[in-house]
Every structure is written in C-alpha cells, then in structure tokens.
Amino acid sequence: MSEMTRRIFFGSLRRRRGRVVVAICAIALGASLVVAALNLRYGIKERLARELRSYGANLVLVPRTEPFLKERDLVILEDKRLKDRIIGYAPFIHKVAKVDGKDVVLVGARFSQLSKISQWWQIEGRWPEKENEALIGSNAASKLGLRLGDRFSAVHKISQLSLSVTGLLRTGGAEEHQVLVRLETLQRLTLLDGFLTSILVSSPAGKELEETVAILQRAWPRAEARTLLQVARAEEALLARLEIFLTLVSLLILTAAGLSVYATMSTAALERKVEMALMRALGGEERRVAWIFASEALGMGLIGGILGCAAGLLLSEIIGLSVFGSFIFPSLLSLPIGLALGVGISLFCSLWAVRRILALQPAVVLRGE
C-alpha cells in the first residue's frame, strides 16, 4: 500500500468515524446473526438428536446364527471408536414363564442402563432395585390381576421365582405385555448365566446411524445389527424439517442483514460522490477510484466480520444455555462463513453503490454544488 493510498484510507475512515462505526456495527450485526443462526442450526440439530435418543433406542442387536449373544462381548460396545456413536444401550434376555398358570414374557434387563434409553416410559411406582422386584406392563398387570405392591410367583420349567410389583409400566409398546426383572435374576432362573437374547442401542440418527450399523457388524460378527426403522425414520423426518426451518431462518437473517449493510454503505457512498467525481476529474480511472472505496469497504468488512463472529458465537451460546441448559458446541465452519459474509456483503454493497455513482459523468456531480 503506497503512502498516498494509506493516507486516503485512514484519513477517510478517521474523518467519517461516526459513519464508519455505524457501518461496522451493521456488518457486525449481520455477521453475528448469521454465525449464531449457523451455530444453532448445527448445535440444535445435534442437541435435538441427542434429546430424541433419550426417547428410545433405534438399533437392536440380536444373535446372527447362535441362539444367544454372550454377555462378555458387551465390551465391544464400550470401544472408543463407538464412543460418540452410542449414546446408551441395554442388554436383555427374554423368556416365557408361567404366572398363575398363564403364559407371560419375562424380560431380564439392567434397569440402570434401560432407564437411560427409555426416559419417556411412564412408571407408576418405581424401577426395581432388588433381586425379587419386578416392573409389570399395564396390560400384563390387568391380565394377571396384579397391582402395585402385590407379590406373585413366576415359574420357568422347574425353577420358581417369587417377585413383588414395584412399578406399573406404560409405554404404548410391547413392554406393556411383559414382566421386567433384573437381568441376573432371569439368567439364574433360566440357567442362562452370561447369555443375552438382544441389546437395544441408542445412536445418533441419519447417515450416522447407517455408519454405526456397519461398524457394529464388523466389530461384532456374531451379532446382527438392525435399525428400528420406524423410530429412525421419524427422527430423520423431524431433523430434516428442523434443518429446513433453520436454513430458512438463516436466509431471512442474511437478507435482512444484507439490506441493512446495503443501506448504510450506499448512504456512505452517496455522501462521497463529489469526492469520487473529483478523483475522476483529476484523471483517476474508474477502476482505481472504485478500488479506493472498495479497500475501505474491505477494511470495514473485516473488522465488522471479526466482531460479528465473536458476537455470534456468544449469542448462540446464550441461546443454547437458555434453551438446552448447556453450551452448544460451536460449528467451526460458521466462523469463516461469517467473516466471508461480512467482507463479501460490505464489498458487494459498497461496490454496487460506487458503480452507480461512477456511471455518472463527473461534470454532472460537480455541477451539483
């Protein structure tokens, strides 16, 4: 940058401090809203996907060829490669038993793990804690005539188990017809210590889910991983709608911010039309004069863009904190996008206005005074 270019650049910015601050604020405001919208678009989607996961599993692992899965193989699900892909899982063993002479499905589960992936279940009473406690589906309770606190016996072949009802379960699904007991209790009753019939897994939806299935298939060849299509598709549809909504909001914000910057920059350019006409009268070529004004717009765009990115990040974290009660992980892509938008909008709006003024003959402008 030559001495003269520097003098024009800084002299002009210093003299028009007020206008420059307004323009930078307009650019920063626009960039901050876009950065915040992009962060929320990414962050909310991820948060919502995780929230949705708490409403149920979307994957099930069942034995591929053998009748059971081995409990010790559960370590595969704890592998660090799957850490971000598995939000929670719950192993099960299912067996039919007789209660009061009637067939009923007994389900052995680890309640501490099950409760994490089935937070939407409605339980009247509480989760079982001891070995002889059971959670009974509402339909099963009606069928067996059992109420909260009742005791009953379950018989499997020659083994018998005495249980008390700690909770009545409503899920709207198959669980309402089942009796849930501790995994170890049922394994002992059925002489299947160390064996499982299925594992429910909660994993992020969308493309990631398919990738998780593929990874699981490779890591655990004896198990077959299947997606629970109904759940997965409902989640995908909801997330897709959310994405469309957030994209539209981002576009709307971008348009509003662009108009605001355009108004500020074109007013600034109009104020300086005599300056531009004079520069041309002194022999300045249109391109060179335009570059002088563009470099100022570039400077303001850079400053506004950086400030906007910082403010946008802060704004998205405040929104994340107030909506989800935790910080949103910032999308790193939003920063270059915010900066490019700040500079791009500033340059575009400024050059658009400058072009219109440069289209006038210098004499027309200079005659105006």
Partner 1 sequence: MEPLILLEELTKNYDGKVLALDRVSLQVYPGEWVAVMGASGSGKSTLLNMIAALDRPTSGSVWVNGEDVLSLSEEERARFRREKVGLIFQHFYLIPYLTALENVMLAQYFHSMADREEAAQAVHEVGLEQRMSHYPSELSGGEQQRVCIARALINQPKILLADEPTGNLDAENEEIVIAIFRRLHRAGLTLLFVTHDPQIGTQADRIVELEHGRILPTFPAKALRSI
> Could you list the residues that contact partner 1 (CB under 8 A)?
2-5, 7-8, 11-12, 14-15, 274-275, 278-286, 288, 361-364, 366-367, 369
Q: Minimum CB separation from partner 1 for residue 268, in Å? A: 14
- C-beta of 4 vs 158, nearer to partner 1: 4
Q: Minimum CB separation from partner 1 for residue 310, in Å? A: 29
- C-beta of 102 vs 288, nearer to partner 1: 288
DSSP calls for 219-236:
H-TTEEEEE-HHHHHHHH
Q: Minimum CB separation from partner 1 for residue 19, in Å? A: 12
**Is residue 198 helix, strand or coil?**
strand
Do 59 and 225 form a contact (C-beta atoms < 8 A)?
A: yes
- C-beta of 41 vs 280, nearer to partner 1: 280
Q: Minimum CB separation from partner 1 for residue 358, in Å? A: 9
- Quote the strand ranges of the chain, DSSP E: 59-63, 69-70, 88-99, 102-109, 122-125, 133-137, 151-156, 159-170, 178-182, 195-196, 198-202, 223-227
- C-beta of 281 vs 314, nearer to partner 1: 281
- C-beta of 11 vs 173, nearer to partner 1: 11
Q: Minimum CB separation from partner 1 for residue 290, in Å? A: 12
Torsion of CA 293, 294, 295, 300, to 10 degrees: 100
Please report the sign of the dihedral spanned by the C-alpha atoms of residue 147, residue 149, residue 151, residue 154: positive
Q: CA-CA distance, 258 to 347, in Å (whole number)?
A: 11
Structure tokens, 133 = 């406690």
